[in-house]
A and B are shown apart, each in its own frame.
Chain A
Amino acid sequence: MDSAGLGVRRAAAFVAPALLLIGVFLVFPALWTLYIGITNYQLTGPAAANPRVVGLDNVLNAVRDPLFTNSVWLTALFVLGSAVIGQNVLGFGLAWLLRTVRPSLRRTVEGLVLLSWILPGTVVAYLWFAVLSRDTGTLGMLLGSPQTAWLVQYPMTSLIVFNVWRGTAFSMLLYTSALAAVPPSQLETARLAGASGWQTVRDVVFPHIRGHVLTNTLLISLWTANDFTPFLLTAGGPNHQSEVLPVLIYRQALESGQLGYASAMSLLLLLGNLVIALVYLRLLRRRA
């Protein structure tokens, strides 16, 4: 089918510039990560000029490094708490509840949620410093405990709550459009049969939006696992307590200059991402 009369050659010319950019700045770095990961490449010093191939040593060192295992655990916690549970549940809840409210109220709530999504990350970091900081912070003021330095005492919890705030908009939008595609007649049938709200969601809505739930969970999981914003809030501290993988990789690469070692960890992160994606594709295929 070539309704536009493009012809294969012209079509290739249309696609080529985009593929070139993607190839140079996305695929090539990804492949290079594989290579740097097996060298002892460093930012400065003798290994910077003449990196030596060290094979899988970096990977083995990483797996044995308590900083790395700690980071993997924190990343899993971060993804599970803020994305898989937090954004998913709140996003769906908002989409479900806002179906029935007045349009003006609906727009206001949606507007706030969306604003928290599109504000620049660095600005958002300051907004949350203002909420969570000691002495003057808004949360301490509201709870009457101004002495609590939330980001220091509860760094992971703070990051999870922050990321729910930051990322729920996507899930809300996706579920809103998914819910709009559920045939109203089926919802009405459930109501006539006397189903409660929860029963309706479980028996009528969920089977319809299963694919959306999977897509959404995959995307927000990947985004959260690779999110660099935690660096802006806690920079991994205190004492590595909130050092999720992207932050660890950054610090290893540019603060410690261990480029090879950091790449090996990037490689492991890539592999982790791939595993998540494959599990998702598996689930999606089972549906079909």
Chain B
Amino acid sequence: MSPLWMVRRIGFYVLVAVVMAFFAVPMLWLASAPFDSRPGLGLRWPDWTLDNVTATFDHPYALTSLVNSLVLCVIATVVTTVLAALAAYALSRVRIPGRDLLLYLLLLLSSVVTGTAAMVPIFVMMLQLGLINSQFGTALVIAGGMLPAAIFILKDFMDAVPRSYEESARVFGASPRQVLAHVVLPVARPGVATIFVWAFVNAWGNFLLPFLLLRDVGAQPAAVLLRTLYDEGGSANLTVIPVFSLLYSIPVVVLYLFVNRRYGFRFHGGIKS
């Protein structure tokens, strides 16, 4: 235990503490402001009250928007997971020339286009299709943006399912549908679960697309409503915003805790060097 060693040890833990503070401090607001009688944009020891919660539940759109979020999110997530699983399985098993290049291009395209580069055409397209204010339409757009990455990651999981499992099932007479349902999907379940959670968190937090495509406040999800919560005076409604932020965050946090317990947040593959 030389002095140098001690200094390095202490330095190490100071560093870790600073990093933890950097990540933790912004989140503390989510614990204090919702229960403060005079919530503001800043951190202070709250003057405990539950009035804000009551006010939030009384807000005409708060709960509707959470339901809207759920509808949007469930459609987008289910569509993404089901279609990605089917496509990833077929791509993993049947050799198509140029498959890897195609996947790679789609992945690049998705990380580019889903952001903002294509928002004008998407807006115009949905306008002309009459799908502005359609939750289903918006969910499909979100799913379309998530699909390439979902297929890319799931294909890795599918690739890891031994071929002999399927061949074994086939020799015993299983049809392709049975092979998929009895063998491949159960074995690739961690991958499917990963994609499900990933898609849910992404869709739940997506702001830009609903903001663009859902102009009617009754159809808007929580992400959009949270941006537009103003009180009568036209300034941000700080009674409702903190509690609503907390409510809106709970599903992803719960999902995160579940995944963390069940599978651990690790890359099982998917991102290869």
Contacts and interface: CB of A to CB of B under 8 A. Distances in A.
Given A15-B90, A178-B273, A249 B167 contact: no
B261 to A, nearest CB: 11
Given A26-B148, A209-B273, A246-B115, A112 B120 contact: no
A18 B147 contact: yes
Interface in A23-38: 24-30, 32-33, 36
Q: How large is the interface on A (under 10, 10 to 19, 20 to 34, 35 or more residues)?
A: 35 or more
B226 interface: yes
A33 B271 contact: no
Contact of A165 (B16, B20, B23, B205): B23
A232 B227 contact: yes
Contacts of B19: 90, 94, 109
B265 A114 contact: yes
Given A6-B90, A177-B267, A232-B227, A25 B145 contact: yes
Given A18-B147, A94-B19, A112-B20, A222 B111 contact: yes
Nearest to B238: A126
A47 interface: no
Nearest to A21: B144
A118 B108 CA distance: 22
A260 B266 CA distance: 43
A240 interface: no
A138 B33 CA distance: 12
A113 B204 CA distance: 19
B25 interface: yes
B76 to A, nearest CB: 11
Q: How large is the interface on B (under 10, 10 to 19, 20 to 34, 35 or more residues)?
A: 35 or more
A4 B166 contact: yes
Given A120-B248, A228-B208, A273-B112, A22 B144 contact: yes
B124 interface: yes
Contacts of A1: 93, 95, 163
A180 to B, nearest CB: 9
Interface stretch (A77-85, A183-191, A261-269): A261-269
Interface in B39-97: 40-44, 79, 83-84, 86-87, 89-91, 93-96
B41 A130 contact: yes
Contacts of A222: 108, 111-112
Contacts of B43: 130-131, 138, 141
Nearest to A260: B120
Contacts, number: 301
A21 B90 contact: no
A20 B41 CA distance: 45
Contacts of A178: 273
A105 interface: yes
Given A18-B151, A111-B260, A215-B271, A32 B207 contact: no
A interface majority secondary structure: helix
A117 B113 CA distance: 21
Contacts of B22: 165
B65 to A, nearest CB: 11
Contacts of A29: 113, 118, 121-122, 125
Given A11-B94, A112-B23, A177-B266, A259 B207 contact: no
A239 B184 CA distance: 55
B233 to A, nearest CB: 18
Contacts of A105: 16
B120 A33 contact: yes
Nearest to A169: B265
B256 A115 contact: yes
Given A120-B252, A127-B26, 12 more contacts: A4-B94, A4-B170, A18-B87, A25-B144, A32-B121, A112-B20, A115-B27, A122-B248, A127-B30, A225-B115, A226-B114, A269-B112
29 contacts: A2-B93, A4-B89, A15-B90, A17-B83, A17-B87, A19-B87, A24-B144, A25-B143, A29-B118, A29-B122, A30-B109, A105-B16, A115-B253, A121-B207, A122-B205, A122-B207, A123-B226, A128-B26, A141-B43, A173-B267, A174-B267, A174-B271, A215-B273, A226-B111, A226-B114, A232-B207, A266-B119, A269-B116, A274-B108
